[in-house]
Chains A and B, each alone.
Chain A
Amino acid sequence: MALPKVLSLREHDSEDSERRTRIGQKTKDDKTQESPETTPIVRYRGVKKSFGDVEVLKGIDLDMMPGEKVAVIGPSGSGKTTLARLLMTLERPSAGIIEVEGEPLYHKRVGARLVPADERHIARMRSKIGMVFQHFNLFPHRTILQNVTEAPIHVKKMPRLEAEEKAREMLEKVGLIEHIDKYPEQLSGGQKQRVAIARALVMEPKIMLFDEPTSALDPELVGEVLAVIKEIAEKGDMAMMLITHEMQFAREVADRVLFTDGGNIVEQGTPEEIFEHPKSERLQAFLARFLGGVGGGGQ
């Protein structure tokens, strides 16, 4: 392995793909120089978020390991979406620290102190994270291919041909290669969501967030999207946070399941522990409502 480069900042600033090869992981701040296996890729410490008077997250502590697939379940309004939105930097935490690969997301280390980071730092951190939204949020004025190439070309400054090649590869993966010249409005919800997945994947994030990716879909379209996510989960070495109401899916894909309620992580464990041996009453009640008794998924 190459010797650690001197300045981690410079390395991350060059947005080339070389940095994705994971050699780069060893070249972080020397303080946090641990092997990827022991450094959490994501770490929440005492993270709180309020909207006005309403506290939606009440002090979250959470570690995710590289490559780990974490499913987040819980009733609506339990704060699970906010959990992901804070990591995607769509909202700022009201209190607490979030770290990505050992580096604070919203702060910079100055000596031993943490000071609020500027937009440059946040943008650099943000490039490690990708997100798939409940309502897809495709760009309606661009074709399917352009939806996927837009960010590589205009954010990563990738040459157009290379970006298109990568985009085709991704669209092939999600089974939409024959639709590349259509516009989003011409696709079904399931197809749109698969485009959104390709659009996020092409940026090669280390962490992917799925915010209820099938909640806005007609029931018959849920399966195709879940199948794509499942395949990515099985093949990819990305860490994934899956916010979902699809219990069967969570069980099959996740390494660990979190149950959130009232702004807290109430219980967590392996899918088996959570679904077969729920400890807290709230989780038991939640599962009873969702599963109606025995195992079957939400679909």
Chain B
Amino acid sequence: MSEIWNWQTAADVFWKLTKVVPVTLEATFLGFALAAVLGLVWALMRRSRFRPVSLLAYWMIEFVRSTPLLVQLLFLYLALPRFPVFVIGVTGLGLHYSAYLAEVYRGGIEAVPQGQWEAARALNFSPFKTWTRIILPQAVRPIIPVMGNYLIVLFKETPLLFTINVVEMMSVAKKFGSHTFQYTEAYTIVGVLFFLMSYPSSLLVRWAERRMALKQ
């Protein structure tokens, strides 16, 4: 194997890799869904007037943001030996990005004018209805593009799951390389596949951003 690049090999690995693309996508979307829900929970807890609750959320966010995702994944992997690795992977991704999304939510919530809270109160909305009908719809709309960006970043971090033995693109590529000694094709095609999926998504996010900007 003296040549650096073999097209036939590249094609072979491409087909092998496309078979595990669904795993990557599932991990991405499930992880992001978890992050979106948990992030909102942290953001709401941060606003609690009950100090222990807001402090708990504060430290949760700070801790997660100050430690590497890789370390978090390995920790969860070792701490929860009975769970399927895919579940651990999704949990790790979701937890990690929830800390970032919490800050995004916080920004969105704080951008809702005080007058909206007062109008809701004057009309006797319950706290729950105030959040669900008045505050959150206004808080979430402008942060949708930012959340889209985080979705793409999370997607690009999924190769880390290979360190906890999730069978996804990276691990398939590595296995292919160790069998054929043609790592170059394998890893390059992984990169190409990521590009093919992220680039259109980032265009979509930019389009959404522009639409938001026009609306304001």
Residue numbers of A with Cβ under 8 A of B are: 88-90, 123, 126-127, 129-131, 133, 135-141, 150-151, 154-155, 199-200, 203
Contact = CB atoms under 8 A, between A and B. Distances in A.
Q: Chain A interface mostly helix, strand, loop or mixed?
A: loop
Interface stretch (B6-14, B37-45, B120-128): B120-128
B137 A155 contact: no
B118 A90 contact: yes
B211 interface: no
A203 B125 CA distance: 12
B119 to A, nearest CB: 4
A123 B124 contact: yes
A8 B69 CA distance: 59
A141 B124 CA distance: 19
Given A141-B138, A141-B141, A150-B133, A135 B115 contact: yes
Contacts of B121: 88-90, 126
Q: Return the 10 tightest CB-CB contacts between A and B, nearest first.
A: A137-B115, A137-B119, A151-B123, A131-B122, A127-B124, A154-B129, A155-B124, A141-B137, A126-B124, A88-B122
Interface string B78-116: 000000000000000000000000000000000001011
Given A154-B129, A154-B133, A139 B116 contact: yes
B23 to A, nearest CB: 37
Contacts of B118: 90, 133, 137
B119 A155 contact: no
A150 B126 contact: no
Nearest to A131: B122
A155 B123 contact: yes
B133 A133 contact: no
Contacts of B33: none
A151 B123 CA distance: 6
Contact of A123 (B113, B119, B126): B126
Nearest to B116: A137
Interface in B135-173: 137-138, 141
B208 interface: no
Nearest to B114: A137
Given A133-B115, A137-B115, 5 more contacts: A123-B124, A130-B122, A131-B122, A139-B116, A139-B119
Given A139-B134, A140-B138, A154 B125 contact: yes
Contacts of A126: 121-122, 124
30 contacts: A88-B121, A88-B122, A90-B118, A90-B122, A123-B126, A126-B124, A127-B124, A129-B122, A133-B115, A133-B118, A133-B122, A136-B115, A137-B115, A137-B118, A137-B119, A139-B116, A139-B134, A139-B138, A140-B138, A141-B137, A150-B123, A150-B133, A151-B123, A154-B125, A155-B123, A155-B124, A155-B129, A199-B123, A200-B122, A203-B123
A127 B123 CA distance: 7
B134 A151 contact: no
Contacts of A155: 123-126, 129
A88 B118 CA distance: 9
A203 B124 contact: yes
B138 A151 contact: no
B171 to A, nearest CB: 44
A126 B119 CA distance: 12
Contacts of B124: 123, 126-127, 151, 155, 203
A130 B123 CA distance: 7
Contacts of B137: 141
A88 B115 CA distance: 13
Nearest to A88: B122
Contacts of A137: 113, 115-116, 118-119
A199 B116 CA distance: 13
Residue among B116, B122, B133 facing the most chain A CB atoms (10 A cut-off): B122
A151 B115 contact: no
A146 B132 CA distance: 15
B115 to A, nearest CB: 4
A200 B116 CA distance: 14
A127 B122 CA distance: 8
